[in-house]
């Protein structure tokens, strides 16, 4: 078995809003994407399914500071080009008041096919996520680590939550994005596989039956990437604050490295039924870091803050050796400062308390999101 290099690649999706009123840009200028791609060439800025969205991707990064620097440059580039057209990017899992029925999908063959196949379900996808790729060349190891790290997906989701609003209403959830995405087929927790070969047989069956073209249509919370030799984390909302995204990527990388250490010592993380992990997944989406998740080893619900301390301790050895211990420790700052979802709700409530009406308060949330997306302090 080849030793994993645990390189990083990160993808972020943003929503484009009009500066004048905070509404989504239903038809952004056609030239805008080309301008952004000219500013940072190399396929790092791309369209998304809906015209109001844009996606960025780092290259292959060997360190968290490198990934942070690339994402910072990408956010700045998108903001600069969008600003020329009276627009701004916001990094949020959902828009506070947009109507999904007013959005239009991007005119490309792949997206045309998705819109036709998924119908009304696809039109509701006014949502944005954070995807973190970690390089693991050995295919069977990739599958084994996917099986084990799935236990921690709710913990990572809770840290990332940035989608408390949907169509102008506070949903009561910290990540409403998950609820929207779950309406698609082949989403949620992945199957358990004994080997890479078993995974490939599943993909082959789906392709042979004409259900999917390839493995890119498996939209699980975590998956072996169909394009790269990586294990791709997909459950997380896009983080409004860049440093939150970097901390989550560091913790995810550390978890994979820690699970590999256990394997090398002839140990492994206990595998629990997906039905149990799904309970924590719901609690993470509903309550975020302010609630409790179930520690299935203890058989009881535990405050998220205590669970995070256990995760930090679990990855300490690997994070120190790999040079990303500060980024892992910075996950504590997310709890101290509040996730994006928590802070959006605070901004909204503060605006109401200051006498603004519901619509004006939601516009205040969009303004905060636009500013915080470019807050790199």
**What's the chain's Rg over C-alpha atoms?**
20
How does DSSP classify residue 127? Answer: B
Quote the pLDDT of residue 35.
94
Token pair recorded at residue 67: 């990934």
Sign, Cα dihedral of 133, 139, 143, 148: negative
Sign, Cα dihedral of 161, 162, 163, 168: positive
- Asked whether 162 and 92 are in contact (CB, 8 A), the reply is yes
For residue 136, the number of C-alpha atoms closer than 13 Å in the C-beta half-sphere is 26
Distances (CA, A) of 371 to 145, 241, 245: 37, 10, 16
pTM of the model: 0.97
Residue partners of 358: CB distance under 8 A and separation at least 6: 168, 352
Q: Which residues pair with 175 in a beta bridge?
A: 163
Per-residue pLDDT of the chain (377 residues; tens, 9 = 90+): 567 889 999 999 999 999 999 999 999 998 999 999 999 988 999 999 999 999 999 999 999 999 999 999 999 999 999 999 999 999 999 999 999 999 999 888 888 988 898 888 989 999 999 999 999 999 999 999 999 999 999 999 999 999 999 999 999 999 999 999 999 999 999 999 999 999 999 999 999 999 999 999 999 999 999 999 999 999 999 999 999 999 999 999 999 999 999 999 988 899 999 999 999 999 999 999 999 999 999 999 999 999 999 999 999 999 999 999 999 999 999 999 999 999 999 999 999 999 999 999 999 999 999 999 999 98
What three-state secondary structure class fits 10? strand
Phi and psi at 200, nearest 5°, equal -65, -35
């Amino acid at each position: 078995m080849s030793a994993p290099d645990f390189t990083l690649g990160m993808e972020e999706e943003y929503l484009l809003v009009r500066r004048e009123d905070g509404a989504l840009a239903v038809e952004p200028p056609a030239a805008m994407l080309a301008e952004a791609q000219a500013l940072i060439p190399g396929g790092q800025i791309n369209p998304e399914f809906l015209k109001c969205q844009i996606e960025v991707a780092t290259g292959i990064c060997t360190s968290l500071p490198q990934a942070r620097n690339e994402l910072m440059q990408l956010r700045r580039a998108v903001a600069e080009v969008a600003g020329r057209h009276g627009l701004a990017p916001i990094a949020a899992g959902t828009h506070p008041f947009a109507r999904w029925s007013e959005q239009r999908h991007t005119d490309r063959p792949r997206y045309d096919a998705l819109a036709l196949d998924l119908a009304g379900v696809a039109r509701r996808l006014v949502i944005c996520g954070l995807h973190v790729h970690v390089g693991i060349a050995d295919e069977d190891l990739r599958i084994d680590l996917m099986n084990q790290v799935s236990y921690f997906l709710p913990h990572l989701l809770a840290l990332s939550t940035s989608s408390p609003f949907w169509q102008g209403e506070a949903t009561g959830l910290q990540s409403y994005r998950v609820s929207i995405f779950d309406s698609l087929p082949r989403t949620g927790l992945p199957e358990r596989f004994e080997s890479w070969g078993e995974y490939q047989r599943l993909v082959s069956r789906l392709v042979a039956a004409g259900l999917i073209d390839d493995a890119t249509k498996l939209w699980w919370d975590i998956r072996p990437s169909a394009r790269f030799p990586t294990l791709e984390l997909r459950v997380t909302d896009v983080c409004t604050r860049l440093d939150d995204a970097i901390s989550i990527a560091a913790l995810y990388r550390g978890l994979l490295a820690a699970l590999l250490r256990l394997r090398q010592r002839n140990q492994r993380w206990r595998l629990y039924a997906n039905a149990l992990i799904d309970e924590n997944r719901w609690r993470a989406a509903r309550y975020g870091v302010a609630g409790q998740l179930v520690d299935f080893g203890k058989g009881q619900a535990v405050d998220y803050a205590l669970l995070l301390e256990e995760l930090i301790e679990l990855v300490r050895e690997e994070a120190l050796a790999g040079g990303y211990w500060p980024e892992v420790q910075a996950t504590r700052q997310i709890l101290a400062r509040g996730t994006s979802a928590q802070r959006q709700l605070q901004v909204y409530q503060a605006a109401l308390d200051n006498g603004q009406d519901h619509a004006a308060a939601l516009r205040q949330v969009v303004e905060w999101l636009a500013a915080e997306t470019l807050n790199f302090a």
